[in-house]
Amino acid sequence: MPIAGLMAAFGAIALGIVLSFVLLMVIWLFAAHGNESTFQVAQSAGIAWLASQLVPVTIGDVTLGLLPWGFMAIPVVFLWKSTHWAMKSAVPEVPRDFWFVAAATSLAYASVATLVGLAASSDGLGVHVVGAFVHTLVLAVVVTCGVVIRYAPSADVVLDQLPDYVGKSFRPAVRMAFMLYVVGALLVVLSLILHWPEMTSVQHLMAPSGTDGIFLWLLSIGYLPTAAMWSTSYILGPGIHLGGGAVVSLTSATSGALPAFPLLSIVPTAVPLHPMFFLAIPIAVGAVLFLLLPRGHWQAQGTGILRPFLGLVRIQDLVILVVSLSVLGAMVFLGAAMSSGSLGVNLLKFVGPDPLETAQAAVKLCGIGAVGMMFVPRFILVILYIASGRHKEDDALVA
């Protein structure tokens, strides 16, 4: 099993670095203006491969941590396919074996990636060893665990070991976290349409030649997933930190010292007229989340006036809701962390959404929607139950 995981890690890394080298060679041949050697291009390919996994890159004295995670699809696909192959080759039978293959693949992947970072780093361009190991390990753990959960033979074996409320709460939470992200992406598309002239003006200013313009557009496309997460944080309330205390949110539109870049033209320059309309989106998502969660049979029952109200909430419902909101908050936190970081020094040391604030806002607003969807219909049924006089007969009004 460790051999399968090690081979899977090597395969994913080799494919990723080769593809990065080919792409950089194309850029070097068509758009380079220096005297870089092939060896330097190979070193840059290793750094570019690590950067595609959001490993902060150091250029001179400046660290770039806010990187385009649209390109992360390349290493993720290679690692996913390689881990899937490792699962088939290792032929695990019990849940522990599946997790062992995932752990072996993740550790091997992060270790080799760290060695790549050491070999590719130079005086002017490089990565920090700890950062390379931590970022690639987190990515590998997420991908390999996803393979374990999605891989047909392991899905049933692993999920059967989890408590019933955990397994049934996980998928609705993931879907609703993705729904928040989709809404953010749709707002980005709308903003792109509205600010297209400004974007093209910045594009022509930065890259007047056709070849440079193509590569700048590709870089902008790589940042689109990051922009979608920024938009998600915007509709959740915390907004986007733009350096030096500047924040763009539903209640503030303070511009920061951002560098010129086409995609930054869509950042709002004024607060919305009706910010509550935006906050209604995550509340509605929370309401849908509750409808997707497993709910046992509930009915208004009990004698007297107080007892029917005491049955509005069941411990099982609260546990399922807490688990699902925790999963949703964790996914939003991860997305915000991937979409923030350093763009330079001084005022640009941190740009993007604050991960903790964004996750807390998601849990709070979606929780309001879910709790409202739980309480309001049941409260109405209890009122009808009491008004009908059935509380005197201890009859039941089925929900």
pLDDT at 36: 67
Digit-by-digit pLDDT tens for the chain (399 residues) are 578 778 888 889 899 988 888 888 777 777 655 566 777 788 888 899 999 999 999 888 888 888 888 889 999 999 999 988 888 887 777 767 788 888 889 999 999 999 999 998 888 888 988 989 999 999 999 999 888 877 756 555 565 666 666 667 788 898 999 999 999 999 999 998 988 888 888 888 877 776 677 778 888 888 999 999 999 999 999 989 887 778 888 888 776 666 777 788 888 888 888 888 899 999 999 999 988 888 766 666 666 676 666 667 777 788 888 989 999 999 999 999 999 888 776 767 888 899 999 999 999 999 999 999 888 887 877 777 777 766 565 544 444
Please work out, in degrees rounded to the nearest 5, the angle formed at the alpha carbon of residue 218 by the alpha carbons of 213 and 220: 95
pLDDT at 398: 43
Model pLDDT for residues 214-230, shown as the tens digit of each residue = 778 888 888 999 999 99
Tokens 């909101």 sit on residue: 325
3-class SS letters over the chain: CHHHHHHHHHHHHHHHHHHHHHHHHHHHHHHCCCCCCHHHHHHHHHHHHHHCCCCCEEECCEEECCCCCCCCHHHHHHHHHHHHHHHHHHCCCCHHHHHHHHHHHHHHHHHHHHHHHHHHCCCCEEECHHHHHHHHHHHHHHHHHHHHHHCHHHHHHHHCCCCHHHHHHHHHHHHHHHHHHHHHHHHHHHHHHHCHHHHHHHHHHHCCCHHHHHHHHHHHHHCHHHHHHHHHHHHHCCCEECCCCCEECCCCECCCCCCCCHHHHHCCCCCCCCHHHHHHHHHHHHHHHHHHCCCCCCEECCCCCHHHHHCCCCHHHHHHHHHHHHHHHHHHHHHHHHCCECCCCHHHCCEECCHHHHHHHHHHHHHHHHHHHHHHHHHHHHHHHHHCCHHHHCCCEEC
Tokens 């390109």 sit on residue: 71
pTM attached to this predicted model: 0.85
pLDDT at 356: 95
Structure tokens at 324: 């699902």
Question: Which is it for the CA torsion 333, 335, 337, 339, positive or negative?
Answer: negative
pLDDT at 351: 86
Residue 267 φ/ψ region, left for φ over 0, alpha for ψ in the -120 to 50 degree band, beta for the rest? beta
Do 369 and 290 form a contact (C-beta atoms < 8 A)? Answer: yes
pLDDT at 253: 78
CA gap 71, 375 in Å, rounded: 43
pLDDT at 45: 87
pLDDT at 397: 44
| 241 DSSP β-pair partners | 247, 352
pLDDT at 140: 93
pLDDT at 107: 92
Amino acid at 149: I
pLDDT at 78: 93
pLDDT at 288: 93
- Name residues whose C-beta falls within 8 Å of residue 393's C-beta, 6 or more positions apart in sequence: none
CA gap 296, 294 in Å, rounded: 7
